[in-house]
Structure 1
Amino acid sequence: MPTLLAAVPAAPPLPSPTAATAIAWAAWLTLMGFPGLVAFALVTADPAARRVDEGTRHAVTTRLSRCAVLLAVLAVPAVLADLAQDATTGSRYSAAWHSLYDGTGAGLLAGLEITLVLLGAVLVAPLAVRAAPHRWRRGLLVAGLVAGAAALATTKLPAEATDDLARTCWKTAVWLVHLWFGASWLGGLAGLLVLAVPGVIAPGDRGAFWSAAIRRFSAVAMTGVGAIALSGLFLYWSHVDGPSQLLSTLYGRTLGVKIVLFGALLLLGIANQFWLHPRIEAARAAGDTRPLRTLLLRRFPAVVAVELVLILAILLVAPMLHGSAREQAVQSAAGSTTVHLPDKQAGPLTWVLGSAETLAVLAVLIAGYRVSGRIARRRAEAARRTARPAAGRGARDRPVVSGGTRRSRGSG
């Protein structure tokens, strides 16, 4: 008797937790890296290269665009692999592909995620292959950045309508600030390392370019630190009821690791801002290319590489955060995983404390940027004063050629 029902193919086994974390990490890395690199090219590298010459500007944009396009292309299989982890029947990758634009809210967002990141790659590609006129450079970068930022935004947009629209919009906005500024920090550090590779910028142009680029990136990075810290404080308030839950719950311990990594990253950024950057400014002001080259090609890229590794570690830890410490604490006490808590409600005191935290963070960032700039200017001025007498002595001692015969000044 023929079989009336076709056999449903069994789903392959789910990936191990380690593999699942690696897949999620790859998806976040590529989705955040693409707009981050484009933003770095648009806001930091291109304006700094404009102060040098058109050749440097062209070389810088081309190198960053190639790296950005590569990340955008890699984002497609990474996102599909991440979606495939949720499939329950048949071929997981086939199911992930067919879930795009399948008529559901989640399918629409997943489809837009891949479509937008590919659109961003198409927009930036002419700059990567040097096929776009110079006058299109900034327009293509802006369009690519908008597409990449929109693709990243789809990861946190709600797939279904909710009853509390105002709260949903607020939480979504906080998440987007957290992701967008995190992407700008990640892309900026990666872009600095990419441009520090010998051969991108001519040796004679490095001083002028790096002095401007580092200063501009410092402003972007400090803005990102403030945005990430403030959005992180809100997310901490939403998911954790007090510091004790950082140790008593899995969510809290994982979040604690992320906080420690962020703190280490912040300390390195402070060291850059108040120690390394002023030294680079002073070396350039003194006209001493040897120390400047040593700082840029040894110390500065090494510190930036460590910062980049810390950000990658944060992206590795972040996908492990599921649920909230609040729920896990209640579930542990009740001995059941089915207990769910309603979202926290913000009262007047919460808004007062939140406003105070915001003002405090802004004050610290503005003061830090101004103080570091003052330190850099003082070091540069001191280096100029030291360089002038040395230059004068060198001119007096330099041999003079007269009538084809070399003689010392004052020899008669």
Structure 2
Amino acid sequence: MHTASLAAATAGYVMPQLWRTLSKTGYFIGLSGAIGSTVTYATTIRPALRAAKANTEDAEVLRRRSAHYLAWAGVILLVAGYFQLAARVARAGKGMPFGDALAPERIWDYLRAPAAKGAWMAQGTVYLVQNLVLVATAATLIALFAPGARRHTDRIALTALPLSLAVTLIAAVPTTTPADLDAWLNLVLDQSHIVSGTVWLGGLALLVALAGTRKRLGDGAGLFWADVWRRFGLLAMICVGAVTVSGLWLSWKHVGAVPQLWTTGYGIALLVKVLLVAGLVAAGAFNQFWLMPRIARARTADDTVTLLHLTLRHFPKVVWGEVALGVAVLAVLPFISGSARTEAGSPKAVSSGTLFAGGAALTVALALSLYATAKVADALARREVAAAG
């Protein structure tokens, strides 16, 4: 398509302002830090520490680094939440300069605004409750800066976990009754997309930060980290499935035809995101099919040197790449605004029984493919173990 034609096709697309880009990206970084780190700590780090035969000193180093990371995640969430709330104020009604929206009195006026006609609750009230929970989440995590609180890292992380999830779930509470099933599905799948994505990206960031402790760990730390990567691989696989299913639904709602992915502003931004996520999935597949079998072989052969190298040097390098791709995904999110259907003049997406049947079949097929992926990875690991024996 010629440049002039592309410009005409994307005429309905509005580029977000810089403050909108930074505030939205920052907010999702904050969510990823809070949700991803607490979920990963609860499902991966904590059980691995309990099951590990590593010495007490190694466990203490990892708990201390985890507590420090969680505390900083609380700080980032608090700051990002404030800027995100100011961005909502700046975009409300007729709008106002972002600098003016940062004023506490402007924010308070917005939160106290009365409900719109036909709404059962004011939108400002929803955001007030959300941000009270956000402050509670941040305060819970920030408490881990105190040395005394670090003795209760497990309890604090498990307390912050549901609170951090509530931050995004509360914001999605509708102030009017959704018009139809599609509207309900939009709410549910949008939150599924956010939660699974933040768990995936935030978990990767936590693990790569913890891997930085390798110089202070003993030779037996490779066994612990082999267990960590195995546990997180299962969690990441679930997240990939949820992101894929929810992403397909949301893409169908806003993209009416494949060519709209490169002929509309919304579609181009979405296509960039899809390519970045594909890179994340490819890196994860490399971990599962190449690194994990070799880790299993080194573990069986009791080769502590190789195991330590694979789990704390080679594996984190790949994960650093995944974290970089994840940050790029979050940077693209503010540009995915509006709808490719609207830009292209396509009709609104309307679901049907056939669509739901196809979606259910696709979900089952995806679940089976992920199950098969896990089985193949296990088979490769067993073959490496047999070779080592």
Structure 2 Cα separation of the partners of residues 298 and 163 of structure 1? 50
Partner of 1:111: 128
Q: Which residue of 1 aligns with 2:259?
A: 244
Match of 2:140 among 113, 123, 131: 123
Q: Which has the larger share of helix?
A: 2
Aligned to 2:29: 29
TM-aligned CA distance change 1:280 to 1:129, over 3 Å: farther
Provide the C-alpha distance between the structure 1 equivalents of 2:61 and 2:213, rounded to a whole number of angstroms. Answer: 12
SS of aligned partner of 1:322: coil
In structure 2, the residue matched to 1:354 is: 359
Question: Which structure would you say has the larger RCO, counting Cα contacts within 8 Å and 6 or more residues apart?
Answer: 2
The Cα shift of 1:49 comes to 1.0
Report the TM-score when normalising by structure 2: 0.84
- For the Cα contact (< 8 Å) 1:31–1:72, is it kept in 2? no
Structure 2 CA distance for aligned equivalents of residues 57 and 166 of structure 1: 48
CA contact (8 A) 2:222 2:311 kept: no
Cα distance, 1:218–1:205 mapped onto 2, change above 3 Å: same
Label 1:114 to 1:370 Cα distance change in 2 as closer, same or farther (>3 A).
same
C-alpha displacement at 1:127, in angstroms?
4.8
**1:377 aligned to which of 375, 382, 386:** 382
Structure 1 unaligned regions, length at least 5: 1-14, 332-340, 386-412
- Cα distance in 1 for partners of 2:16, 2:178 equals 36
Q: By how many angstroms is 1:236 displaced?
A: 1.2
In the alignment, the residues of structure 2 paired with residue 228 and residue 121 of structure 1 have an alpha-carbon distance, to the nearest angstrom, of: 26
Please list every run of at least 4 consecutive aligned residues from structure 1 whose deviation after the TM superposition is greater than 6 angstroms. Answer: none
TM-score when scaled to structure 1?
0.80
Q: What displacement does 1:255 show?
A: 0.6
Q: What is residue 173 of structure 2 aligned with on the other side?
A: 157
Partner of 1:62: 64
Change (3 A) 1:72 1:127: closer
Aligned match for 2:101, one of 92, 98, 104: 92
- What is the CA RMSD across the aligned residues, in angstroms? 2.4
CA distance in 2, matches of 1:21, 1:99: 21
Tell me whether 1:311 sits opposite 2:326 in the alignment: yes
Counterparts of 1:82 and 1:122 in 2: how far apart (Å)? 18
SS at 1:198 equivalent: helix
CA radius of gyration, larger in: 1
Please state if 1:145 is matched with 2:154: no
Could you tell me which residue of structure 1 aligns to residue 118 of structure 2?
A: none
Unmatched tracts of structure 2, length 5 or more: 1-14, 116-121
Aligned residue in 1 for 2:3: none
Percent of residue pairs bearing the same amino acid type: 30
Task: Please say if 1:184 is aligned against 2:189.
Answer: no
Length, aligned pairs only: 358
SS in structure 2 of the partner of residue 161 of structure 1: coil
Partner of residue 404, structure 1: none
8 Å CA contact 2:219, 2:308 repeated in 1:
no
CA distance, structure 2, for counterparts of residue 316 and residue 280 of structure 1: 33
Name the CA distance, whole Å, in 2 between partners of 1:201 and 1:103: 56
- After TM superposition, the structure 1 stretch with the greater mean CA deviation from structure 2, 117-126 or 242-251, is 117-126
Q: In 1, Cα distance between the equivalents of 2:70 and 2:153?
A: 14
CA contact (8 A) 2:74 2:142 kept: no
Within the candidate set 261, 265, 278, 1:263 is matched to 278
